Amino acid sequence: MPWFRSPPPQTAGLLTESNLAPLVSELVHPSNFLVVPPLKLDLHSPAEEESFWEMFRGRALDHTQTRNRRRFLSWNVFDRDQTTPGDEPLLSVKWDREARQVHVTRSIRCRSWEAYSDNAGAVLSRANVRRVRELLGTIDLSFINSPELFRDELMALLHLAIVGTSRLSLTSVETPMPEFTFGQFAFCYQENDREASVDNLAAWIDDKLCPNLGENESARLLELALRTGLESERDRIADQFLDRWTAIGRTAAEIIPLLKVVFNSVSLTPYLGLVSAAREFGSRLVANKELTAADLTDFLCHLLRQTTRHLTAYDLVKFHHRGANYPDALLLEEVLRHVLSIAQHQPALFQADISDGAKTSRIKRLRRRGIRQAWLAAHFYHHLRVPNLPTSPGENIRILPLGNVPEEQLTQPNQRQRELFTSDWNEELRSPAIRSVLQQSVADLLEPQEQIELGLGLFLDRPLGYGKFPGEPDRTLLFSYEAFSQNTALDRVRQIGEFFGPLAPSEALSKVRGSLQNDSVKGIPVRQWPLKQRPGVVAFEDALVAADDFVFMRNTRRSIREFRDWYAPPPEDAQRIDALLAPGHCLIVRSPETSSHLLVYDAQLRHAATLTVDLSHGYVARLGIEHPAAGLLLRWANESREIRLRPTVH
């Protein structure tokens, strides 16, 4: 069973009313919170309270939406300066003894509207600012009866309340609290003797960065170090993180995988200095000879490749609120400029050499791929008009220190003044080293994998959440898919001829075009699926909007690993299922006919099995992820026997 932290030794005791309250108080203790000025918090002692409370389709309604009340024993954290009397706490743990449930909520300060009556009795509305309640998760004590399991679950929910529930920030609850984004607020539990919260990030890192942290917790600590609000302090804080990182037995080289975790789950809006801080941190590690230039270059080119795959799937104009939310483009430009600078000063990291072995040749080709794909995106979005700041309609109602974007810039693209990629990118071609790298990146297109990359998009779906109501939060497993569009790839060939000029000989492009037209890529066509999906949830049917000739090739390795971690087969079937669910070699998609069925394809894209989602007992949650409580029924193709895969949640 996955744990938020490494599972502690089991004790013989059971979770009871007498030990539950001390466990919550132990976690909701001031010493577990970082509170950086100007943020000021009041952490109240646990108290009995009667609150407005009603659950509706996975949401906890606040006082503006319900008259129902319930009694709780509550642990509340209030924003001392920005919370009015009767307002929602910034963070809260609520124990409902009668229902045998513990809820974790947070609140976001937003612009909203309230109803009021004038002297004549007419009901009117007016703008105001208030904290809006969001439910992060509920611990059902009917299922969790171990103190260790309860502590781990509550620790995870408090962490997610601050950093967001998902690596895909599509809905508000999936995004970090603004106080975390601005480097002012964080949670991390460690046993210590402190009585008060910590207001110094360097001391916080020394105190909290320990060997028992999970990968995600360590990554969030690094993100926090890079997010510190004082630019003059960033170098010192980042160095402090590295010193502590090595003191607990980790190496500087392990910072790169940790940075990948940071950027795989980061929310880049509001767009602050995180990308610059990460670049500068990596550059200092190289200057201090703790990392090689090749290590940093590989990480940056990885970011370029992943970002361009995302933009191939979710085009800025068709998605992202018609370009209103564009942090990926800002990251792309910032990282591409840095990589081009490396290529100019250290061209040997990119340029092919006859002495290169197979492994080195592949690594250099991946670096050139990152530059080529990002260069194409830079030219494609050249002078695209966007709002003053990257945002979305939901985020724009939040109260942020940066201010808000005028509403007309979100809804009317012709009202936007800012433009993307405004520099003259052809100026870069004055460098012989960059010209050589781009020319070789075009020659790389004779490789089949490079041709596929031209039309490769990374799509997302939550296939286990089909039983959710429209608008209901969906926290089921997030699956990611690699899909290829021939039309997109051919369009990119045309763009290469247009954007790269003499660096892309017409004869070479003709060969690439002919190869793409004659060779078919194996995959499951998205055209088989009707264009339907629940609002507010990603689905691989989004590919029909991007380009209707996408074919789905495989799930990403991470998706399959996470699925396999959560769903355990009977021991006698484990070997066969492990062989089928080999990361990077299988595809799990919803059936186009029946949403409750998932089709499993093997490495040769043959239908190997069908998974049926059993919602007879609803959903059960663990670590912020929801699972069908009854599990999944697996039936092998051409066999009648069924195997039940149960979620390993308790």
* pLDDT tier at 297, thresholds 50, 70, 90: very high
For residues 378, 381, 383, 388, the Cα torsion angle rounded to the nearest 10 degrees is -100
Q: Which residues contact 261 (CB under 8 A, 6 or more apart)?
A: 215, 216, 219
> DSSP labels for 490-536?
HHHHHHHHHHSGGGS-HHHHHHHHHHHHHSPPP-EEGGGS-S---TT
- What lies within 8 Å, CB to CB, of 427 at 6+ separation is none
pLDDT at 496 > cutoff 90 = yes
Q: Under a CB-based contact definition with an 8 Å cutoff, are residues 350 and 318 in contact?
A: no
CA distance 512 to 499: 16
Beta strands in 57-122 (DSSP E): 59-61, 69-79, 91-96, 101-117
pLDDT tens figures, 92-146? 999 999 999 999 999 999 988 877 787 787 888 888 888 999 999 999 998 888 8
Q: Is the pLDDT confidence value at 230 over 80?
A: no
- How far apart are the C-alpha atoms of 320 and 331, rounded to whole Å? 15
pLDDT tens-digit readout, 447-489: 999 999 999 999 999 999 988 888 888 999 999 999 999 999 9
pLDDT over threshold 90, residue 538: no
Residues, the chain:
650
Q: Quote the CA–CA distance of 19 and 37 in Å, as a whole number.
A: 34
Please determine, for residue 14, whether its predicted confidence score (pLDDT) is greater than 90. Answer: no
Determine the 3-state secondary structure of 151 from DSSP.
helix
Torsion, Cα 502 508 514 520, to 10 degrees, reads -100
Residue whose token pair is 């009021």: 116
Per-residue pLDDT at 198 = 85
User: Nearest-CA neighbor of 611 among 626, 625, 627, 631?
Assistant: 631
Average pLDDT over residues 180-203: 87
pLDDT given at position 83: 59
**pLDDT number for residue 644:** 93
CB atoms within 10 A of CB 310: 18
pLDDT for the residue numbered 466: 87
Find out whether 66 and 54 touch, Cβ atoms under 8 Å: yes
Calculate mean pLDDT across residues 257-261.
95
- Retrieve residue 27's tokens: 């976690």
